[in-house]
Amino acid sequence: MSEAAHLLLAEGVGVAYGGCPVVTEAAFGLDAGRLVALVGPNGAGKTTLLRALGGLTPSTGRITVAGTDLLKLPPRERARRIAFLPQGHVVHWPLSARDVVALGRYPHGLADPARMGARDAAIVDAALARTDASAFAGRQVTTLSGGERARVMLARVLAVEAPILLADEPTAALDPRHQIGIMAALREEARRGALVIAVTHDLGLAARMADEVMVIDRGRIVARGAPRTVLTPQLMREVYGVDALVTEHAGEPVIVPWTAP
Ligand SMILES: Nc1ncnc2c1ncn2[C@@H]1O[C@H](COP(=O)(O)OP(=O)(O)OP(=O)(O)O)[C@@H](O)[C@H]1O
């Protein structure tokens, strides 16, 4: 595939804070229909790279979306093409969960959730259902638990229906059932044709669910490829400094960090 054909192309992307490089020479092309897990140790540069890919953090080098320079996309067009789920899910607005999810339709011209048309309403309700959040759609988000709020915030980005979805630790606050459910929802989003990049520390879920794992260590992408080929005991030792159990169950990879010598 030619470089221009990639949905998201990074060429020599770098980010520095106060002259200190945090992401260095990131170069890759990613295609539609893939769930990519972006993994690496604390402070490796995952969030910084994700934010750069979304145009939220200034970077050097070049990022193109379907052949168009990210910086040349007008803000609303960029918001239609790239949905971004930040870490933390802090919301202070006294809005209902459904109205928060409706904000995902803002790049498509919906300014007031109270005047939502049938199509937008159907998209919002489907997004709530996909994150198992329909039961509290009418509740104020400020009253929800951390995990409930996390699912509402993910529903908001699903409602954008963007071809690229960037999610920073989407399973961080979730119980095991919802961790699996949300990763499955992200994989489903990829199967529908989106490129989904999810930052995660859950290597077990990444190994099972992601089409591809991209490993960043001290600002550099050090490995990329199918989970089985990338998440080896050797990589776990070199990048994370842990000895890991790497095995299989029911034909799927299993990875469990075991000891930190
Ligand atoms: N605004 C900032 N100013 C200065 N340094 C920053 C800033 N944001 C991040 N950094 C530093 O850049 C490095 C990478 O941070 P980043 O948040 O991208 O890491 P991460 O891989 O997402 O880590 P974690 O797994 O802990 O969330 C860290 O050393 C961090 O302290």
pLDDT in tens, 201-255: 999 999 999 999 999 999 999 999 999 999 999 999 999 999 999 999 999 999 9
Indicate whether 4 pLDDT > 60. Answer: no
Indicate whether 56 pLDDT > 60. Answer: yes
Two tokens at 67? 């052949």
Residues above pLDDT 90, as percent of the chain: 85
Residues above pLDDT 70, as percent of the chain: 98
**Of the given ranges (59-68, 84-93, 247-256), which has the lowest mean pLDDT?**
84-93
Which of 243, 221, 226 has the alpha carbon at shortest distance from 234? 243
Mean pLDDT of 85-91: 82
Which of 101, 105, 109, 103 has the alpha carbon at shortest distance from 130? 101
Give residue 187's identity as a one-letter amino acid code: R
Distance (Å, rounded) from C-alpha 80 to C-alpha 75? 9
Indicate whether 57 pLDDT > 90. Answer: yes
What pLDDT does residue 173 have? 81
Distance (Å, rounded) from C-alpha 43 to C-alpha 225? 22
Ligand 1 contacts CB of residue 171 (under 6 A): no
pLDDT band for position 135 (cuts 50, 70, 90):
very high
208 or 117, greater pLDDT: 208
Ligand 1 contacts CB of residue 17 (under 6 A): yes
Ligand 1 contacts CB of residue 51 (under 6 A): no
pLDDT band for position 1 (cuts 50, 70, 90):
very low
Indicate whether 88 pLDDT > 90. Answer: no
Ligand 1 contacts CB of residue 40 (under 6 A): yes
pLDDT tens column, 171-205: 998 899 989 989 999 999 999 999 999 999 999 99
Ligand 1 test: best mutation among 47, 56, 168, most atoms within 8 Å of CB?
Answer: 47
Taking each helix axis as running N to C, give the angle between helix 118-130 and helix 146-159, from 0 to 180 degrees, rounded to the nearest 10.
140
Contacts 24+ apart (CB under 8 A), 25-30: 25/61, 25/220, 26/52, 26/61, 26/216, 26/220, 26/221, 27/61, 27/221, 28/214, 28/221, 28/224, 29/1, 29/3, 30/6, 30/195, 30/197, 30/212
What pLDDT does residue 123 have? 96
What pLDDT does residue 115 have? 82
Output the pTM of the full model: 0.95
